[in-house]
Structure 1
């Protein structure tokens, strides 16, 4: 897809990867409907866009609220005249505890945001996308979709579901003008734990050091992740893996799932102690 002149609806555009994708798309001549629960986060995205900020409309929305999501396409078309792409980037993690220690309301919150939020937006926007001469649908899963992380079982389950949803949509939309891309990020240097409400930024830093035996775990920057996502849109990629960790674990998980699980367990088990 050519970015210039296209309109992109992006969930999670108020921080992290979603923000970086929004900023890079407007730099390439795209227009963005930035969707997020945080009004302050959306305002900061517009501020960071500088002179390109006029190309961004902001929409405060809870993607778990089906009625709010259903109203989005009309609002975006009113602001931009069209909508050519949906990028599902918003997502949250769970507390780093075993499933047995998660309350049902905590489980439901992760499922509602990661899975139902993605389904809600796809159902709302797909009727518009299939009518466009060139369209894109991007879903962000996770390395956790195929590499089981202790203490993130529910999160991983939702991301595995998102990954399979993306693959099935790709098959369903063959023969249309909608390119479907699945994204599998590894460790990205965002504040997802704080934004998910499961720990503070300081606690996240301490946890990362603990997982790395005192060494800071290597992460991919949100800017680089954003660049790769934008490039995937331009190419119409089927799936992309962001970070050496995501690429390595994808290969190992296919070759030896049990060995991959053991490796992840050895690196992350202390987080549960």
Structure 2
């Protein structure tokens, strides 16, 4: 057994693919998420090297209690994959729903830092570990309607850079994975709350898929222990960062 991994948001999409890939790579995986029935399906497929745990990472009390709730042989988490996250809505800031903003911040920022803070001390004690967070190209490149979602992913990128600074002098690694357009997950369905609109996002494109993200993480964790990949930004070839937008007819008032 190569070690113990904890993957948040493993009920679908990236987390599901990451859990499957890392079990195949020889790791034991603690798969967490809100839908326990989905996690049990994954365990039925992968066997006893996957441990399903129901967890909402926006519940700070549950996150803090998680290490003690694990069986002793599962508590030494070697790799933490902060995958759980979401986007809500594409409205411009002046029209956005504050509850959507709060949910994104509580999950993408607060939940992620609480998970990291909960499992980092054990890594420090063992002087061994790897924290991987799923960011987004939205954290670097703005687009209309990304407002708070993009802001949360920019936070993830900067948090991971600063985490690497704090970990200097240890053998603990920290990596931000920042994908662009990626299909085959529930991301757009959750964001738009409309399956037809979600499908239209990927129409006539060849996007990344969750297995691409899982493959990337498999590579990152397989590198020699002295190698730290700070950040990987990845897009499908059908996507690139857009040029500067110009609104015609707007100027001096």
TM-score normalised per structure 1? 0.82
Question: Alpha-carbon deviation of 1:8?
Answer: 0.6
Kept in 1: contact 2:67–2:75 (CA 8 A): no
TM-score normalised per structure 2? 0.88
* 1:153 aligned to which of 147, 152, 170: 147
**Structure 1 residues 174-183 or 228-237, which shifts more?**
228-237
1:208–1:187 CA distance, 2 compared to 1 (3 A): same
Matched residue pairs, number? 242
* 2:100 aligned to which of 97, 103, 106: 106
Question: Alpha-carbon deviation of 1:248?
Answer: 4.9
2:118 aligned with 1:124, yes or no?
yes
Aligned counterpart, 2:161? 167
Q: How much is the aligned-residue C-alpha RMSD, in angstroms?
A: 2.1
1:110-142 deviations in Å (ceiling 9; x for gaps): 111111110110111111111224210001110
Question: Alpha-carbon deviation of 1:47?
Answer: 3.1
Aligned counterpart, 1:7? 4
Kept in 2: contact 1:77–1:83 (CA 8 A): no
Aligned counterpart, 1:234? 222
1:246–1:61 CA distance, 2 compared to 1 (3 A): farther
Where does the alignment leave 5 or more consecutive residues of structure 1 unmatched?
210-215, 250-258, 266-273
Distance (whole Å) between structure 1 residues aligned to residue 85 and residue 238 of structure 2: 17
Distance (whole Å) between structure 2 residues aligned to residue 197 and residue 248 of structure 1: 21
Q: Secondary structure at the match of 2:160?
A: helix
Q: Which structure is higher in helix share?
A: 1
Kept in 2: contact 1:33–1:76 (CA 8 A): no
Aligned counterpart, 2:205? 217
Where does the alignment leave 5 or more consecutive residues of structure 2 unmatched?
248-253
Kept in 2: contact 1:181–1:233 (CA 8 A): no
Aligned counterpart, 2:245? 262
